[in-house]
């Protein structure tokens, strides 16, 4: 299994080379040269596997024996050992309209990013030790990626990690989860800008070949293929509980950067019978607008109650573009160049038709988000955060409008614990949700972070000055 860039000028590389590179050197994103596919019988045989065993089975084709399935299993067992729910990714039946919620917040930072990040830190340890290298990890976060990454990589001997977050544009709990990680090699940087600014700085740093090579730059954002790979697993886990492969399943995914829902698309390529993927956006609805018009048009980021989706540049959509274009790297590169220059690109009618065969998109504003949180509590006695509310709304709309047949279960992804956004939840239902016991003292913990200008040279200089070199 080799890896190539969506822009056609980098690769083929091995899994671990793609892991450590993060972003392709031509500016594109890595994808495997082909999609492994399980037979119906092979998927049925997965029903008896534990979550770590399922993770190893799903990921093994992507590593082609390096790491082996046994090594992947050991990493997954270690990664998920301290998750607070025995099912790792528990499924809740709402008892109406064949709707289900998959709760993806039993990890240490109570958000879905833990599922990939805890595994990724183990994969980096193995790859760096094997190569005799050190790495500087640079990432951008709209809220949850940063805390999950800092928690997973803190204190790792071979890694220094720097996380950029938009100053004043994450929830207080999200910020505290990042800034209270005080450990060697762990650095939270508050950037004077929005998430798209942070993401652009990361990409610009990777595109500076001299800097990239000097510090051994790598990525943990979902631009890194190895970040998406473990997320494929929970799509299989929930579908198997609902009767797959004999039964089709639909998924509603709150998303801004398109990484989590693309992992669902990958699950479909691997043989999981997916009826539909529902994209749920907040007021920053660039993805919904694309599926309505066929044009990806950048707009100004507008702060919302669901800040992890306050994004107007959906980086992972490039991977779908590459697939829709028949894996034409040159065509993908042209579209991304146009987007960088003009803030817009359009796809052909044929590409749009292909995309709409599987994807449906909805949007929900802040007022609707509060109403959905209240509705979930009243109708299902379910506490949900604003992002999960957007996802649940998408699931209900898809059912109501007949986009998904009544006999097909819809799984709505609950991507964060409601206590990560206590003010919004309290506004909707009148009471703040409590943090889990392991985070009960979070808001009183000491914190450490640096405020930094929205300037590439400043950030590069900071990294070079504070990183460990031995």
Round the CA-based radius of gyration of the chain to a whole number and report it.
21
Read off the pLDDT of residues 139-148 as tens digits, 9 standing for 90 and up. Answer: 999 878 899 9
pLDDT band at 330 (very low <50, low <70, confident <90, very high): very high
Active site residue 130: no
Residues 6+ apart with CB under 8 A from 363: 280, 281, 282, 283, 285, 288
Q: Using an 8 Å Cβ cutoff, are 318 and 325 in contact?
A: no
Q: What is the mean pLDDT of residues 93-116?
A: 97
Sequence-separated contacts (24+) of 1-4 with Cβ below 8 Å:
1/32, 1/33, 1/34, 1/36, 1/61, 1/62, 1/63, 1/64, 2/32, 2/33, 3/30, 3/31, 3/32, 3/33, 3/225, 4/30, 4/31, 4/33, 4/329
Average pLDDT, whole number, for the chain? 96
Please check whether residue 276 is in contact with residue 403, taking contact to mean a CB–CB distance below 8 angstroms. yes
User: How close are the terminal C-alpha atoms of the chain, in Å?
Assistant: 33
Neighbours of 78 (CB within 10 A): 14
pLDDT above 90 for 221:
no
Examine the pLDDT at 28 and tell me if it is beyond 80.
yes
39, 54 Cβ separation under 8 angstroms: no
Q: What is the pLDDT of residue 18?
A: 96
Q: How confident is the model at residue 334 (pLDDT cuts 50, 70, 90)?
A: very high
Beta bridge partners of 217: 136
Task: Name the residue with tokens 């450990």.
Answer: 183
Listing DSSP states for 388-421 in one string gives: HHHHHHHHHHHHHTTSS-TTS-EEEEE-B-GGGS
Catalytic residue (one of 113, 241, 377, 420): 113
Please tell me the number of Cα atoms within 13 Å of 313 on its side-chain side: 20
SS (H, E, C) 95-136: CCCCEEEEECCCCCCCECHHHHHHHHHHHHHHHHHHHCCCEE
Q: What is the mean pLDDT of residues 222-243?
A: 96
User: Residue 90: its pLDDT value, please?
Assistant: 98
Q: What are phi and psi of 101, to 5 degrees?
A: -120, 125
Which tokens in the block code for residue 385?
């955060």
For residue 170, the 8-state DSSP code is: S
In percent, the amount of the chain with pLDDT more than 70 equals 100
How many CA atoms lie less than 13 Å away from 438 in the CB half-sphere? Answer: 10
For the chain, which domains are there? 91-108+227-429 (3.40.50.1100)
pLDDT digits (tens, 9 = 90+) for 286-301: 999 999 999 999 999 9
Residue 421 pLDDT exceeds 90: yes
Task: Check residue 317 and give its pLDDT.
Answer: 97
Q: Which pLDDT score is estimated for 182?
A: 95
């Amino acid at each position: 299994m080799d890896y190539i860039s969506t822009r056609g000028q980098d690769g083929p590389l091995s899994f671990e080379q793609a892991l450590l590179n993060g972003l392709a050197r031509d500016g594109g994103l890595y994808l495997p040269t082909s999609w492994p596919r399980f037979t119906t019988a092979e998927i049925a045989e997965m029903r008896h596997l534990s979550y770590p065993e399922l993770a190893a089975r799903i990921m093994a084709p992507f590593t082609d024996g390096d790491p082996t399935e046994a090594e992947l299993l050991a990493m997954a067992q270690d990664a998920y050992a301290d998750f607070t729910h025995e099912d790792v990714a528990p499924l809740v039946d709402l008892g109406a309209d064949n709707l289900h919620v998959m709760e993806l917040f039993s990890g240490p930072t109570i958000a879905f990013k833990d599922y990939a990040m805890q595994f990724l830190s183990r994969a980096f340890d193995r790859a760096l030790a094997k190569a005799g290298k050190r790495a500087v990890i640079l990432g951008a976060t709209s809220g949850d990626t940063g805390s999950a990454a800092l928690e997973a990589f803190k204190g790792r001997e071979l890694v220094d990690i720097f996380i950029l977050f938009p100053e004043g544009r994450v929830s207080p709990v999200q910020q505290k989860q990042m800034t209270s990680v005080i450990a060697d090699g762990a650095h939270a940087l508050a950037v004077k800008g929005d998430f798209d600014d942070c993401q652009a700085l990361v990409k610009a740093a990777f595109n500076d070949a001299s800097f990239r090579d000097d510090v051994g730059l790598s990525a943990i954002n979902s631009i890194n293929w190895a970040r998406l790979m473990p997320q494929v697993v929970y799509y299989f886990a929930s579908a198997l509980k609902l009767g797959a492969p004999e039964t089709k399943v639909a998924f509603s995914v709150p998303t801004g950067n398109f990484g989590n829902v693309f992992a669902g698309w990958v699950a479909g390529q691997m043989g999981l019978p997916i009826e539909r993927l529902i994209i749920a956006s907040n007021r920053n609805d660039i993805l919904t607008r694309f599926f309505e018009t066929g044009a990806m048009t950048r707009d100004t980021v507008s702060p919302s109650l669901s800040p992890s989706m306050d994004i107007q540049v959906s980086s992972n959509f490039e991977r779908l573009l590459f697939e829709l274009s028949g894996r034409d790297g040159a065509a993908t590169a042209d579209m991304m160049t146009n987007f960088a220059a003009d803030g817009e690109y359009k796809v052909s009618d044929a590409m749009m038709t292909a995309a709409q065969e599987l994807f449906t998109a909805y949007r929900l504003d802040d007022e609707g988000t509060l109403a959905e949180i209240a509705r979930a509590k009243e109708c299902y006695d379910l506490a949900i955060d604003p992002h999960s509310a957007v996802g649940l709304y998408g699931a209900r709309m898809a059912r109501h409008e007949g986009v998904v047949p009544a006999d097909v279960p819809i799984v709505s992804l609950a991507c964060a614990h409601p206590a990560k956004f206590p003010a919004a939840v309290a506004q909707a239902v009148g009471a703040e949700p409590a943090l889990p016991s392991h985070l009960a003292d979070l808001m009183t913990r000491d914190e450490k972070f640096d405020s930094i200008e929205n300037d590439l040279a400043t950030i590069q200089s900071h990294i070079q000055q504070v990183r460990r070199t031995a």
